[in-house]
Structure formats: structure tokens, C-alpha cells
Amino acid sequence: VLKKQIAVLAGDGIGPEVCREAIKVLEAIGERFGHAFTFNHQLMGACAIEASGTPLPEHTLEACLEADAILMGAIGDPKYDNDPTAKVRPEQGLLRLRKSLGLFANIRPVTAYQVLLQHSPLKNDRIEGADMLFFRELTGGIYFGEKGRNADGSAYDHCTYSREEISRIAHLAFQSAEGRRHKLTLVDKANVLETSRLWREVVKEIAPAYPSVVVEYLFVDNAAMQLILNPRQFDVILTENMFGDILSDEASVIAGSLGLLPSASVGVHTALFEPIHGSYPQAAGKGIANPIATILSAAMLLEHFALKQEAELVREAVQHALDNKILTPELNSKAPYTTEQVGSFIACYVKEGAGPGRD
Ligand code: IPM
Ligand code: MN
């Protein structure tokens, strides 16, 4: 029996609801394949601030370091968003966790699902067949530079990148491109930013080691336009922290819903798997949150454990839910299913290859 311990950081808003469904699916995988997954629930985000005054308690970090993988829901609360003077914020917990675990590469796949094409506001013939993989740098850049206020009342956020920070994620992106369509696009702002010029320099140095990969360079403003104009041109997109944050949200419009996009964060210590969406507090407790992004994050977690067949089965089950319109209201406004029903349908398919009907 394969034994794995998974730290669960359900977090805030819809986080706990979507995590519950992903855990259901992982348990179904465990049952079917005879793996023993155990789940260690810990607090992070606004819920942790409520409980202990800090967004990433020491205990949570320790549990993450000890675990084989981390499954996260979402963090954030409007209480803090609307208070620019707040000293303690839920996001600090996530940022500190990423940094403490050395999770420098955030991998975000974006696919245009055939059955959901009509849900995208973009023209179907433009997005059909789009399939790209973001490599977003996650522990450097403007997110982690010195920040503060000056005596004159102005504010600053510094952006710094070292060669090492760039090359380690660039190698991962190149390796991934070798196993895909052999194209890597570096997105930067090298016409203005010195850090971007360093990204180009380092990527150009590394490129010869991957002769089968074609490298393209795109300024971020142009990339934002190209993404919705002609998304099929992209295979692997490599970019720095903030550009990756912005562009991956934009790219979700291609998939039809932000609620479909998973991510994996890998690096030095325990890898973390989370949907790219936020805590969507307006939807909390209503059963309308789409659990698929978190369930697909769980599939990436399985792949990380080298459980390829298991990961494939989860993806097949998700595809089955899409094909049968077992979907939450943002993708099925006429006959919507609840978060719980979508999760159960997918877990049932994983267990026995067939889905239950509506209760
Ligand atoms: C994301 C989120 C986070 C980020 C926030 C919550 C700090 O938007 O994972 O994309 O900006 O990295
Ligand atoms: Mn984001």
C-alpha cells in the first residue's frame, strides 16, 4: 500500500467547500487503487488570523514541511481587501508559505474544453484547441522585494531577480516544452525593465541546451493581447511572478471559467496544489462554487506522486462531468448542480466508472 500524508489548507470563503470535494475524489482514488491517503487539516489565511492572530501559524508550516504534499483551497477576505491599512493580511500567509517551502515554480495549465467553448465570451474558432502551460515564477520579483512607505508619503515595491532564480524555473519550463509541442515563450517587459533584460539574457544562455525547443520572446502587453487574439500559438509560457499572476487569470477566459483552472507549485520542499481562483466570499456556503479547479489540482498532486494512471482517471472523470453537464451555475445556468453534487459525481466515476444521477 502506498501511504501518503497530505496537509490540507482549506482556507477561507469557498476554500473549505472545494477542498472537501477534492478530498472526496482523492479518497475515491485511494479506495480504487489501494492507496492510503491521510489528510492533516491546518489553518492558513483569514481563518488563521481569526484563530491565532497570524495568517501562517508555525504549526501549519511544520505540518506542511512534514507532509508529502499540500492541498490548498483559497485564502482572502473582503475585510482585509477593503482596509489598505491592515497590518496583518491573509495573503501574507500564502506568500510566506510559498517562500518558506521554496516553491519557485507555479505551473498553470489552461485548456479550451471542447464542450465548454460556447461558455467563453471569446469567439469559438479562435480558442478551439488552445492548450498552454504557464510557468510562473513564484518566490521572487516585485511580490517579494522590499516594500514600504517613504517619509514624503510615497510608497515603493522593489523588483529584483537573480540569475539563479531565473535559470532554475527556466530549466523546468524548457524540460516541460520538450515533452509538449516544443515551444517556449518568454513573456517580459525587456524594453523597459532591467529585470526583464536579465530574464532574456539567462533564457538565451539556457536555450542551446534544449535544441528541440523553439524560443520566442514577447512583451507582456503584446502577450496580453495575443492570448485572446490567437491563444493556439502558445505552448509553454515562462514568465515572472506578477506577469504570470495577471496573464493566467486572463487566460482562464479561454477555458470558460476561473473555476476550472488548477495549479501546482513546486520547488525545494513540499509541493503545493491549489486552484488559481480566490476565496470568492460572496459564494461561500451557497453550494455554487465550482470544485473542478481544486479536483484538477488534486490530479496534479497525484501526478506529482508519480500516480499517472490515477491522475488520468481523475481527468477522465472531470471530462465525464463536463460532457454530461454536471456543472455549477456559472457553466450551467439552466439546470445547475451544487458543489457537492459535482464532487460526488466525479468521485463516483473514479470509484466505479459511472456517475450517480441527481438526488
Ligand atoms: C494567485 C493569487 C495570489 C497571488 C494572492 C492570493 C496572493 O492571486 O495565486 O494567483 O497573487 O499569487
Ligand atoms: Mn492570482
> pLDDT tens digits for the chain (359 residues)?
899 999 999 999 999 999 999 999 999 999 999 999 999 999 999 999 999 999 999 999 999 999 999 999 999 999 998 888 889 999 999 999 999 999 999 999 999 999 999 888 899 999 999 999 999 999 999 999 999 999 999 999 999 999 999 999 999 999 999 999 999 999 999 999 999 999 999 999 999 999 999 999 999 999 999 999 999 999 999 999 999 999 999 998 999 888 999 999 999 999 999 999 999 999 999 999 999 999 999 999 999 999 999 999 999 999 999 999 999 999 999 999 999 999 999 999 999 875 544 43
Considering only CA atoms, which of 264, 260, 314 is closest in space to residue 25? 314
17 lines ligand 1 (CB under 6 A): no
Is 235 labeled as catalytic in the residue annotation?
A: no
The torsion of the CA quartet 35, 39, 45, 48, rounded to 10 degrees, works out to -170
Classify residue 243: in a domain, yes or no: no
36 CA to centre of ligand 1 in angstroms:
31
Classify residue 19: in a domain, yes or no: yes
The closest ligand to the CA of 246 turns out to be 2
Classify residue 40: in a domain, yes or no: yes
CA 298 – CA 296 distance, rounded (Å): 5
Taken in order 170, 293, 90, 188, is the CA torsion positive or negative? positive
CATH no. for residue 329? 3.40.718.10
Q: Are 238 and 72 in contact (CB under 8 A)?
A: no
Classify residue 188: in a domain, yes or no: no
Classify residue 176: in a domain, yes or no: no
User: Number of folded domains in the chain?
Assistant: 1
The closest ligand to the CA of 95 turns out to be 1
Quote the domain boundaries for residue 93: 1-101+269-359
Q: Count CB-CB contacts under 10 A for residue 306.
A: 9
Is 83 labeled as catalytic in the residue annotation?
A: no
For residue 41, the 8-state DSSP code is E
User: Exactly one of 143, 161, 210, 280 is catalytic; which is it?
Assistant: 143
21 lines ligand 1 (CB under 6 A): no
Is 249 labeled as catalytic in the residue annotation?
A: yes
Classify residue 30: in a domain, yes or no: yes
